Amino acid sequence: MELSLTTPALLFPAISLLLLAYTNRFLAIATLIRNLHEKHENEPTKNLIEQIKNLRKRVNLIRNMQFLGVSSLLLCVVCMFVLFWGQIELGHWLFGISLILLMLSLSFSVIEIQISVKALNIQIGKMEKKK
């Protein structure tokens, strides 16, 4: 397979957009956690504690997603540098590892989305029961 300097550069826009999406998720959850914390301080309930536990899992997943995404981007840059210096085989390995890190980041994203949907379904179920 031919690997040129432009091949790893193709991932830059994709990874940048993913990191932006991950950051937006993180900020939304951070705001939610702060609001739940305030509610918990005023009136602690078991429901709030369960929601906070769920959000802790999601925050940890997002942290891992961001770490893997940034690591993938960093390896793409290193790969380009290595290719620039003519180390084609090492460039192949670095690019392959960066793709694996990106796949792991996306996998964590799917898990985080599933946890989010599960939490929303629980909330919807509680609202339906009140009817």
Note the pLDDT of residue 13.
Answer: 86
Nearest to 32 by CA among 55, 9, 12: 55
Note the pLDDT of residue 104.
Answer: 97
Sign of CA dihedral 99, 75, 60, 36: negative
pTM: 0.83
Q: Is 117 exposed, middle or buried (0-12, 13-18, 19+ CB in 10 A)?
A: exposed
Q: What is the mean pLDDT of each run of 10 residues along the chain (131 residues)?
A: 79 88 92 86 80 89 95 94 92 95 96 89 78 68
Note the pLDDT of residue 75.
Answer: 95
